[in-house]
């Protein structure tokens, strides 16, 4: 008569089985979590103070996403440091899809190109999707004896000490874009930096400075009332909001594609299923007629993209402004 012997399972085998079971449990939990996402309110950080273009975009997107996701999307304003404070907060947030941010050319374009930041604009974020962009426009004080872009370049070359331009501050798009123009056109203008675009407009309108390269959205009220004169815009094609103003490309200046763009990002390592869902929902928002009409009236071109395309766009924009900064020896601590 034989007797069965109950031998203990080898330790390594029991450990392997336990680990495998845990992995399956975690995977199943993760899949279940992403499949029902979102189950609680989402915080959408606007890296600026309340009011203004970016804040308005954040609230318009939040309203539409709240409806499509059947979950509240709450906008939280977190200004300071040109978007640095908000970007740091997002970079350190849990990668669960419940803390997102409206990134823009400052946080993920010009600042990374010229400043030493406490975050990595590529490695510390998950690009979800592009919202859109508004071109920048070269405007001048209408008292200048200049009617078009060609006359502007000729005047600047003949009067190198008479022209100055205002910007929203060192390293901003309003600064780097003009430095790109100076280099391409072979002209000289004195840079006068301000703490924001508001004071820069005040001095331009008063004739204290002569030129500026702000967003078309912000410049339209002044252009339409002839308080400034628009000469050229950035981007691939003319804007329907200002169809009489030619692009730099039309005028023979290639590479002036820099725009004030806005997109949706989250912390690094967001689950692919959440990224995919948010991208699909965002692109559906961009396709809504009322949303599109509102953004178009604000001189914005909507630019739906996949996460991969948006990632490439961010990398290309940083490279664009890094080259301008290098060529013009611009580095800001």
Other beta carbons within 10 angstroms of residue 83's beta carbon come to: 26
Confirm whether 41-133+260-327 and 137-233 share one CATH topology: yes
> Is the CB of residue 82 less than 8 Å from the CB of residue 52?
no
For domain 41-133+260-327, the CATH class is alpha beta
What is the distance of C-alpha 57 from the center of its chain? 11
Give the position of tokens 């508001």.
198
pLDDT of the residue at 333: 67
What does the DSSP 8-state code read for residue 7? P
Intervals of the chain under pLDDT 50: 1-5, 12-13, 16, 19, 23, 25-30
pLDDT of the residue at 239: 93
Superfamily of domain 137-233: Periplasmic binding protein-like II (3.40.190.10)
pLDDT tens profile 136-161 = 999 999 999 999 999 999 999 999 87
Across the chain, the runs of DSSP E, i.e. the strands, are: 42-46, 73-77, 99-104, 125-135, 137-140, 164-167, 190-193, 211-212, 229-233, 259-267, 301-302
For the chain, give every domain's residue range: 41-133+260-327, 137-233
Burial class (CB in 10 A: 0-12, 13-18, 19+), 225: exposed
pTM here?
0.84
pLDDT tens profile 36-94 = 899 999 999 999 988 888 999 999 999 999 999 999 999 999 998 889 999 999 999 99
pLDDT of the residue at 2: 46
């Amino acid at each position: 008569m034989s007797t069965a012997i109950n031998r203990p399972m080898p330790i390594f085998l029991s450990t392997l089985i336990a680990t495998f079971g845990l992995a399956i449990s975690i995977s199943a939990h993760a899949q279940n979590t992403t499949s029902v996402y979102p189950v609680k309110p989402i915080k959408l950080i606007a890296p600026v103070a309340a009011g203004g273009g970016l804040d308005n975009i954040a609230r318009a997107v939040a309203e539409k996403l709240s409806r499509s996701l059947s979950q509240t999307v709450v906008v939280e304003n977190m200004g300071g440091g040109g978007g640095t404070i908000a970007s740091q907060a997002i970079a350190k947030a849990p990668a669960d899809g419940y803390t997102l941010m409206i990134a823009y050319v400052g946080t993920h374009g010009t600042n990374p190109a010229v400043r030493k930041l406490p975050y990595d604009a590529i490695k510390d974020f998950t690009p979800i999707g592009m919202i859109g962009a508004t071109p920048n426009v070269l405007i001048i004080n209408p008292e200048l004896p200049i009617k078009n872009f060609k006359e502007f370049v000729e005047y600047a070359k003949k009067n190198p000490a008479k022209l100055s331009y205002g910007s929203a501050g060192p390293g901003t798009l309003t600064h780097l874009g003009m430095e790109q123009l100076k280099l391409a056109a072979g002209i000289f203008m004195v840079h006068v930096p301000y703490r924001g675009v508001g004071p820069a407009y005040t001095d331009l309108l008063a004739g204290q400075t002569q030129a500026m390269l702000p967003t078309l959205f912000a410049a339209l009220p002044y252009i339409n009332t002839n308080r400034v004169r628009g000469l050229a815009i950035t981007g691939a094609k003319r804007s329907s909001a200002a169809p009489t103003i030619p692009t730099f490309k039309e005028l023979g200046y290639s590479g002036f594609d820099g725009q004030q763009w806005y997109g949706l990002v989250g912390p690094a390592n967001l689950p692919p299923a959440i990224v995919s869902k948010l991208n699909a929902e965002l692109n559906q928002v961009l396709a809504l007629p009322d949303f599109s009409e509102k953004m178009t009236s604000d001189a914005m071109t909507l630019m739906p993209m996949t996460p991969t395309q948006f990632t490439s766009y961010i990398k290309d924009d940083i490279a664009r402004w890094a080259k301008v900064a290098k060529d013009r020896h611009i580095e800001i601590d």
